[in-house]
A = this chain, B = another copy of it.
Amino acid sequence: MLSKNQIKLIKSLEAKKNRKREGLFVAEGPKVVGDLLRAGYTPHSIFSTVSRPDAELITDDELRRISFLQHPQEVLGVFHISTIPQPSDISHQTSGLSLALDGVQDPGNVGTIIRIADWFGISQIFCSPDTADVYNPKVVQATMGSLAHVCITYCDLVPLLSKAGVPVYGTLLDGQDIYQQPLSENGIILMGNEGNGISPEVRQLVTNKLLIPNFNKNTETAESLNVAIATAITLSEFRRRF
């Protein structure tokens, strides 16, 4: 049986300031909770509507009271936020391909991008401080467990990119057709805000401007691609070449 304090704590973790204060975040469903446990995340508490050795048994009704999902999924885990590694050794962390998110604000987009990165073997994502918090319940859920496989670092992108020593790729309106451009095995791929794209200070540090061309020959067509979709197309094009 859940105590009032347990319910209050869990519901409070919807807000970033509370997650920061408590050092805790919530993940839901057997898949996501299982992936985090296997990856070595330390659970604070786990609640489940089916019996499992590592969880407190609760009723469907209790799960509904603590869940952030429209359709709660059997298990809810509260995890300790692991110490976020600081990007002190940039050269190590930026070997191979990595991603940088500059102000991506929709939690579903950030979660989906983490899942895509995992699929394409990207192990490091740098996020500007105004990118949606990775421990937001909506981000955690949208990663479908991939949060456990990708290292995510929040930092000021300007010093990071200035010292990166690898090509910085950005998709920009004045970029060159991605399918025709030379791409390298090392580099940072930069994705921008949903409405405004890459911020002006960061844009200056892009060394290779790319464009995903619109193939529609009509005047009336989609004006843009969703940022997660653009990330997927970009990573697909990098990976198929090598």
Give A residues with C-beta under 8 Å from B: 35, 38-39, 112, 115-116, 118-121, 144-146, 148-149, 179, 212, 214-218, 220-226, 228-229, 232-233, 236-237, 239-240
Contacts and interface: CB of A to CB of B under 8 A. Distances in A.
B239 A236 contact: no
A216 B116 contact: no
Contacts of A236: 212, 233, 236-237
Given A119-B222, A120-B216, A144-B223, 16 more contacts: A35-B220, A38-B220, A112-B229, A115-B222, A116-B229, A119-B214, A119-B215, A120-B215, A121-B216, A148-B220, A149-B218, A149-B222, A225-B232, A228-B229, A232-B232, A233-B233
A115 B220 contact: no
Contacts of A145: 222-223
Sorted nearest first, the 10 A-B pairs with minimum C-beta distance are A121-B215, A179-B240, A118-B222, A121-B216, A119-B222, A233-B236, A229-B232, A120-B215, A215-B239, A146-B222
